[in-house]
Structures are given as structure tokens and as C-alpha cells.
Chain A
Amino acid sequence: EPEVTQTPSHQVTQMGQEVILRCVPISNHLYFYWYRQILGQKVEFLVSFYNNEISEKSEIFDDQFSVERPDGSNFTLKIRSTKLEDSAMYFCASSGFLGQGSDGYTFGSGTRLTVV
């Protein structure tokens, strides 16, 4: 069964540093997403990406965040200057269908980001 792959599984970074989280979505999927889950809290939507541009973003996704699909396979989330409160599990997901309504996503196994 196709999988969404995320690397690294765990990243520790110093406050103020830039970090890039990487994802390889399922190859024939069209929509790509980032979610995060702070320890003990809900899974929260960050951003969705379609046709090489952001299609939706949440209030959390401010100017310190950016996404990119630099080639045909990778989908990255960059946090420009990390803060302690950015520590969380970051999930990448992809989905396939075009049109109205959401289909079920396929999630990656997550990257645990720890900002120290």
C-alpha cells in the first residue's frame, strides 16, 4: 500500500534556527497538507497545497512558515525562526480526488520537532 514518507522522524533544533521538514506524498495525489499536534493537544491544520500554490491556511500558519514542492516528489515545511512553542509533532498528508468535499487523507508517520 502506498505511504506518505516523512523525514526526519525526530529533529532537535535551537530556538531561532531555521528548520525544514520533508515529506514525500503519494505519487498520484493532488493535494498536500501539513498538520501539527502539540503534546497533549488536538491535531491542528496548518496548510494545504494544490497546483503548486497554497489553497488554504490556518491562523497558525503565519509568516514564519512556508511550504514548497521543489521537485515532483518532495513537499517541505520550513519554519524560518523556530520558537519554543513550535515544538510539536508535524504530520504531512496527501489526498487524491479533485472536486468538492474531502476524501480521506493518507498521513505520514510524523516528525517530532523539539525546539530547545
Chain B
Amino acid sequence: AQRVTQPEKLLSVFKGAPVELKCNYSYSGSPELFWYVQYSRQRLQLLLRHISRESIKGFTADLNKGETSFHLKKPFAQEEDSAMYYCALSERDTGRRALTFGSGTRLQVQP
């Protein structure tokens, strides 16, 4: 069965510092990876999909199949980036649409 691991429950950085939120996955087939963000008292929002290879709000994430990782990075954190971040996986090869989520990392950006 697939699994998504986010090893850090909390990541605290200062404004302007680089950020890396870690995500590792376990899946024997071809995965599709996502990052979702949940700002305080708001809904889960899609931040990135690995197949689109885009940068949203300065965040990027690269799928590393050798290391089975999909870490989320931003070179200079902003206070408004403070939120809960969830990594998620779906089975791209089977067409199943269910998402498997990691446990989430709370990012705190201090002034």
C-alpha cells in the first residue's frame, strides 16, 4: 500500500530564510504527487502538482524517484507562508483518484 511521510510536525524559520518541507513516499507504481496548503481557518488548497512543474507563490517541488521524495522548497520565506502543508499521493498508473495524505507539517515564519 502507498504511504506518505512528512517527518516534521513543525518547522519554524525566520522571515527571509530558506524553507524545505520534506515529503517521502512509498509506492511501487507510478505516483502523482501534490502539495496542499491550509491557512488558518481556511480550506485545503492545491499548491503544486508535480506534473505541472510550476512555481506557485515562490514554492517549487521536484519529484525525485530515486530518493522517493517530493520536498517543497522556497528560497525566502514570508510571514504569510505560515500554514499547514500536506503532501499527498495518487496512483497515476492505475487511474485511482483517492489521495493518500501525509500527516502534515506546520510552517511558522517568524518576523
Interface residues of chain A, those whose CB is within 8 Å of chain B, are 4, 31, 33, 35, 41-45, 48, 55-56, 58, 91, 95, 99-110
Tell me whether B98 and A91 are in contact (CB under 8 A).
no
Minimum CB distance partner of B100 in chain A: A45
Q: Work out how many contacts link A and B, with CB atoms closer than 8 A.
A: 60
Q: Which single member of B42, B45, B90, B104 contacts A102 (CB below 8 Å)?
A: B90
Over the window 82-111 of chain B, the binary record of Cβ atoms lying under 8 Å from chain A Cβ atoms (1 yes, 0 no) is 000010101010011111111110000000
Tell me whether A45 and B43 are in contact (CB under 8 A).
no
Known: A104-B34, A109-B43. A45 touches B103 (CB 8 A): no
CB neighbours (8 Å) of A42 from chain B are 101-104
Tell me whether A100 and B92 are in contact (CB under 8 A).
yes
State the Cβ distance, B110 to closest chain A Cβ, in Å.
24
CB neighbours (8 Å) of A100 from chain B are 92, 95
Tell me whether A45 and B98 are in contact (CB under 8 A).
yes
* B46 contacts partner chain A, Cβ-Cβ < 8 Å: yes
Report the separation of the CA atoms of residues A44 and B103 in the bound assembly, to the nearest whole angstrom: 10
Tell me whether A91 and B97 are in contact (CB under 8 A).
no
CB neighbours (8 Å) of B100 from chain A are 45
Tell me whether A58 and B43 are in contact (CB under 8 A).
no
Known: A43-B44, A95-B97. A104 touches B49 (CB 8 A): yes
Report the separation of the CA atoms of residues A103 and B90 in the bound assembly, to the nearest whole angstrom: 10
Residue in A41, A104, A108, A109 with the greatest tally of chain B CB atoms within 10 Å: A104
Minimum CB distance partner of A108 in chain B: B43
Minimum CB distance partner of A6 in chain B: B43
State the Cβ distance, A76 to closest chain B Cβ, in Å.
19
Known: A42-B103, A42-B104, A102-B90. A107 touches B44 (CB 8 A): yes
CB neighbours (8 Å) of A95 from chain B are 97
* B32 contacts partner chain A, Cβ-Cβ < 8 Å: yes
Known: A107-B43, A107-B45. A102 touches B32 (CB 8 A): yes
Minimum CB distance partner of B45 in chain A: A107
